[in-house]
Amino acid sequence: MTSTAVDFAAIKDKQRSGWETGDYPRVGNTLQIIAELLAEAADVRADQKVLDVACGQGNAALAAARRFAEATGVDYAANLLEQGRERAVAEHLPVTFLEGDAEQLPVPDASFDRVLSTVGVMFAPDHQQAADELVRVTAPGGRIALASWTPTGMVGQMFKTVSKWAPPPAGVQPATLWGTEEHLAELFGDRVEWVTLTKRDFVFRYRSAEHFSEWFRQFYGPITKLAGALSDADRVQFAADLADVPRAFNDNTDHTLAAHAEYLEAVGIKH
């Protein structure tokens, strides 16, 4: 597949509209622990220049700033950036937030010691271009650290459920391929040496599977937008389908939900 065969610009416009629907940080803020673990795995140090790509509301940028790094977050959704700025002010953390595309980052070559992304860059439709940008902006000897949902984990299964209601654009590779060692090797080749590739679980904790479904339909932008476009009858069925996903990964034996979602934590050194 060549990038010229797909209208990535149109796809990104539609994606941006999805992320700007609902209130994604109501979901994204619960994932903060992923960013903290990633910052530790990447060995983020004081005074390093750290870039959080497809930062959303700034989880990894804030994690870097807590470690006294010079943190910058980039995302194309203006509303998410604004919430990132509000969080940084509330936590008294100096973070710069820039509006920009993960496939065309608005920063110079080799300008960051650490380049992070927590379940963010994986959604860029042109995987190769996004990977090339991560390499471009990382200084030689610097580290690229990614946290990406796996295809077989809970979130991967949720995306499969969503795709039954809204098929993905033709020619675009699944985002969860970023959660596989094979895909990272294909995207980065010998430009990056992956020093740790660790499968971790994030636990989605909600009142119930139904509560999870309701929360995601209300706040997770792309799902919010999809649910709003369905008929009343289809919306009911979609809600049930969405609740079935975490139920299959739930450890709790009472009415509450603790659904384990696998992701790949990958840390590599740029040659």
User: What would the DSSP string read from start to end of 129-148?
Assistant: HHHHHHHHHEEEEEEEEEEE
Specify the range with the lowest mean pLDDT, choosing from 132-136, 167-171, 233-237, 261-265. Answer: 167-171
- The pLDDT value given to residue 2: 44
pTM for this model (two decimals): 0.95
Measured CA to CA, the distance from residue 107 to residue 139 in angstroms comes to 12
Question: What region does 241 belong to: left with phi over 0, alpha with psi -120 to 50, or beta?
Answer: alpha
pLDDT, tens digit, 9 for 90 and up, residues 82-91: 999 999 999 9
Supply the pLDDT for residue 1.
Answer: 39
CA angle 146, 152, 153 (to 5 degrees): 65
Residue 11: its pLDDT value, please? 92
